[in-house]
Amino acid sequence: LIDEINVNALVEFRNKAKGVAEAKGIKLTYMAFIAKAVVIALREFPTFNASFNHETDELYLKKFVNLGMAVDTPDGLIVPNIKNAQNLSVFDLASQVRKLADDTIARKISLDQQQNGTFTITNFGSAGIAFGTPVINYPELAILGVGKIEQKPIVENGEIKIASMLPLSLAVDHRIIDGADGGRFLMRIKELLTNPTLLLLS
């Protein structure tokens, strides 16, 4: 499922929070907000945070979120994960995302940090790409692809306006997750990112 989200409010919110984050030694990226929105949505849609064993036909629902972050390295794509991301704030996630990316590129991550992921985010926007078809990180059941934020003309209440648009691409294992549920999951992420103060209330 593919959608574009008007993130004008998120851009403004991040700009206001950057100074507070910098005072704490934190680089506040959009990925931290996206990660927080995903974690909130996963709590509300637990099947997206599960894994499926096709040999035993068993579905394993996880009470924790180990959020995978696909990292481009000189040795190829590596997907470490942030353990127990459900317990982290936006600032905490920002710190973890940066550290995980740096440690992965420097090949300083442990095997444990690459195992037991429950859901993955891949950011092809960092390569200047808007949309893609993200490949699910087995045995996970879904993956979210994040594209490049770009300013585009949109029609709002009959008027043409300029908005910062964020492309999102969600792939799901259709054996377990229906397209309609995927749509609802993506719409919840859209709601959270277009109203970023909600990210601080969950």
Whether the predicted pLDDT of 202 surpasses 80: no
H helix count then E strand count, the chain:
4, 11
Mean pLDDT along residues 176-194: 97
Per-residue confidence at 58, pLDDT binned at 50, 70, 90? Answer: very high
Q: For 164-175, what is each residue's pLDDT tens digit?
A: 999 999 999 999
Q: For 186-198, what is each residue's pLDDT tens digit?
A: 999 999 999 999 9
> Around Cβ 48, how many Cβ atoms within 10 Å?
26
What residues are labeled active site? 174
| Beta bridge partners of residue 71, listed in sequence order | 78
Whether the predicted pLDDT of 128 surpasses 90: no
Q: For 79-92, what is each residue's pLDDT tens digit?
A: 999 999 999 999 99
DSSP string, 63-79: SS--EEE-EEETTEEE-
Q: What pLDDT sits at residue 54?
A: 86
With CA atoms as reference, report the closest residue to 139 among 110, 113, 117, 167.
Answer: 117
Distance CA 10, CA 33 (A): 8
Compute the half-sphere exposure of residue 131: CA atoms within 13 Å on the CB side of its CA. 10
| Beta bridge partners of residue 119, listed in sequence order | 67
Residues 6+ apart with CB under 8 A from 95: 26
